[in-house]
Amino acid sequence: TRDAVEYLLKNYPKIDVNRETTEGERPLDIALRLGAADIAALLSAHGATTPPVPAGITCTEANAGPISVSKLNAILAACGSRI
Report in angstroms the alpha-carbon separations of 76 from 52, 54, 62, 69. Answer: 13, 11, 13, 10
Question: 13-57: per-residue pLDDT in tens?
Answer: 899 999 988 877 889 888 888 889 999 999 999 999 887 766 777
DSSP letter assigned to residue 80: G
> What's residue 61's pLDDT?
67
Distance of CA 22 to the CA centre of its chain: 13
Question: 50-82: per-residue pLDDT in tens?
Answer: 877 667 777 766 666 777 777 777 777 777 655
